[in-house]
Amino acid sequence: MSTLLEKIKQLSVEITPDTLVNRHHIHANPELSYQEFQTQAYVLEQLERMGIQAKKIANTGLIAEIKGKNPNKKVVALRADMDALPILETNDVPYKSKNPGVMHACGHDVHTASLLGTAQILQKVRDEFEGTIKLLFQPAEEKAPGGASIMIKEGALQNPTPASIFGQHVATNVPVGKIGFREGMYMASTDELYIKVIGKGGHGAMPDACIDPIVIASHIIVAMQQIISRNKNPKLPSVLTFGKIEGLGATNVIPDEVNIAGTFRAMDETWRAEGLEKMKKLAEGIADAMGGRAQFEVLKGYPFLQNNPELTRRSKAAAIEYMGADNVVDLDLWMAGEDFAFYTHHVDACFYRLGIRNEEKGITSGVHTPTFDIDEASLSIGPGLMAWLAVKELEA
């Protein structure tokens, strides 16, 4: 075991009190997407205390560099997201959200605090590695168009350009003390679908005098599923879900229109485009054939997330060095979306998962729930592991 590995592991434990203070502060003061001004100021203050200069980007984001020896040799980027969700927290903890209706329910407080810890470690060992490590503190992961896309447009992956980028995310299904990796496709693209079906309303007892948008909408919803089952390559995962249908009629009133909302998820950009086009044509065609009209709108979300296989294999091997083989697990496909995906289409990337579950302590809630929390033992692991992955990749 290398001396640097031992030093990083020791530092990760030693700085745990600082990491916890940072996590608790950020958790107690959550801010919604594109509104992370106080979080940005807090992170900037912590970086400056470490002697790390940072600059603002994407309005509420930050970017910083830690230069080792021979800083131009290679660049590796590390990313954390900073925004919270519009959820009312019900946890009874000292660091409970002070902003009613806003909560760090997806672990972005953990990601930000962990990356601050990683920065603290790397700053202390910067004379023991070659190259530059770029820190991206990113806003607005939770809301389209996604802070990652804005960071990229504003040059986060330029001057200098990283050879690779890492992202860490909490995993509520992975026990604390374990880390998860997956090569290749991992998370899905996320598009929001909005269909307005326009008919002609009237009395429910006289349907012949109406064009019933509820019946049309029903045909559209059922037919749409056949695009997934009969047009998609069965080897490519994909999901189509309609979670909202609104037709403001009554038992005896046929409404003028029905509004449908749903989500389309894919693991392939070509199929994503084809599927959306087929859905539009199908919705419009069915409505037209039944005497009505359909307006089909798409709010484009994030692309699918692909982990570079070679980078992920190297990172998994480095994690085994750090954690031991028994504590590094393989992840399954996940049809949720994540705007880290934008980075993965520009540079070699590895998005891995930090276990935070502890059933004995009752820490089992999923992300995006009002009772989400973590086993904070994970915060003695996350900072050092990410530092080690970055240093090992600079050497690769």
Q: State the span(s) of the chain assigned CATH 3.30.70.360.
A: 189-299
Q: State the span(s) of the chain assigned CATH 3.40.630.10.
A: 3-187+304-395
CB 25 within 8 A of CB 116: no
Q: What pLDDT is recorded for position 171? A: 98
Q: Is 6 a catalytic residue?
A: no
- Cα end-to-end distance, the chain, whole Å: 17
* pLDDT, block means (10 residues), the chain with 396 residues: 90 98 98 98 98 98 98 98 98 98 98 98 98 98 96 98 98 98 98 98 98 98 97 96 97 98 97 98 98 98 98 98 98 97 98 98 98 98 98 97
Alpha carbon distance 160, 136 (integer Å) = 13
| Phi, psi at 181, each rounded to 5° | -130, 155
Alpha carbon distance 328, 74 (integer Å) = 27
> At CA 3, angle to CA 13 and CA 377, rounded to 5?
15
Alpha carbon distance 280, 26 (integer Å) = 42
The whole-model pTM stands at 0.95
Strands (E) in 163-292, as ranges, are 164-175, 179-181, 184-187, 189-198, 202-203, 238-246, 253-254, 257-266
- Domain 3-187+304-395: assigned CATH number: 3.40.630.10
- The size of the chain, in residues, is 396
Angle between helices 269-289 and 213-230 (to 10 degrees): 150
Q: Which of 83, 142, 183, 212 is catalytic?
A: 83
Alpha carbon distance 17, 23 (integer Å) = 10
Q: Which of 18, 109, 141, 142 is catalytic?
A: 141
CB 249 within 8 A of CB 200: no
Q: What pLDDT is recorded for position 1? A: 47
SS3 74: coil
Assigned CATH topology for domain 189-299: Alpha-Beta Plaits (3.30.70)
CB 116 within 8 A of CB 182: no
Characterize the bridge pairing of strands 328-330 and 293-299.
Answer: unpaired
Alpha carbon distance 192, 300 (integer Å) = 7
Q: What pLDDT is recorded for position 2? A: 74
Residues 6+ apart with CB under 8 A from 198: 213, 256, 257, 287, 292, 293, 294, 295
Q: Is 141 a catalytic residue?
A: yes
| Phi, psi at 58, each rounded to 5° | 55, 35
Characterize the bridge pairing of strands 305-307 and 132-138.
Answer: unpaired
